[in-house]
Structure 1
Amino acid sequence: MNSVSDRAALRILRLDHTRLAAITGAMLELVRAFCDGASPPDPIVLRAMLYYIREYPEQIHHPLEDRYLFAALRKRTDDLDDVLDELECEHMEGAVRLRNLEHALTRYELKGDAVRLNLQTLMEEYVAFASNHRRVEESLIVPAAERLLTESDWARIDAALEERFDPFGDATFEGETLDSLYRLIANAVPAVGDTRQDG
């Protein structure tokens, strides 16, 4: 039998986090670069990154955590209730922060230099927020799940993962069908592409 650390659910969670870290880090570097005077990137690149975060983590990754991983932990212990409550609130807060970031990018596209500092500030705040959120999950929640969850808990989580779908499987870009929006981003941004071998 595989060790708990080899669980598909934990591998997927870690891969999701790796990809999110790569994408948010690349977004921040792009924004900082053009706020420092570099030529702005093609807006489609930043839009693709924001769309990935909007549609994948917010619609797929976070609900799986809330409904299955976090719910299973709540059944096994009360010790993490405050942390889980905060993480679930952060899932909702992240959606609001992301929407604000999308609006800031639109304002930048329309108004240019007059609002670019606001875009950079919101991006820096979002990346720090998301990084801290992942850190708490990886340092507190994952070890607790490895210790406390039972085989039946993991079976339910695994069943939910089997039903998980790629929301970008039918996406198109310039006439080409994509297996994943992530691959589009990885092809456009080398730093993100470095994580492709993980999935």
Structure 2
Amino acid sequence: MATRTGQDGLSRERIVEAAIAMLDDGGESALTFRALSTRLKTGPGAIYWHVANKEELLAAAVQATLADVLRSDEADTTPRDAVRALALGMFDAIDRHPWIGGQLAGLASRSASMRIIERLGQQVQALGMPHHHQFFATSTLFSFILGVAGQNAANARARVAGKSRAELLGAEAAVWASLDPAEFPFLRGVAGQLGDHDDREQFLVGIDLILAGIGAAR
């Protein structure tokens, strides 16, 4: 499809790129058509010529940030590896663009959400999950991907200024290690793992546990 360009050289692609930058910097609340028109040095009317409203703009921004994930080829991979690859692609995308998670959970980006659910569902079918459990298994995978990836991205942006992830987790691990062993035996026992764990590895273990459950249900 040809790019639609206005008389001022403004295009839908340029608008979406600017919107993504604003979302990355300040989240959804920072994206207004007034602020966007200021950034693009144009009037709001020129933007409306390309994008009908904020909902359409947010959906386009999600589609653009997930383009590589949605284009990945799964023809030569096993269903399990395809799920893991898609999940990690989503994890990395949400880590770079934390606002994606909230958009995928709503209706504004239903096209991207449906494509992701469709991809996951096809692999769940290929894994042999009984038909009456396919919806539940696929929605569990989708919810886990959005929940964990989104939470990790939010945590990364909410860190105390001047403190690294290792310092923050180390301090929290020290609190766990100091708990009453009679009341919190589990937390004390895993305190050492909290301090130096890898978020991506933790996320992938969760995906593998869900996949193991799907395998057991066949």
If the TM-score is normalised by the length of the shorter chain, which range does it land in?
A: 0.3 to 0.5
Higher relative contact order (CA 8 A, sep 6+): 1
TM-score normalised by the chain length of structure 2: 0.31
TM-score normalised by the chain length of structure 1: 0.33
Give 1 or 2: higher helix fraction: 1
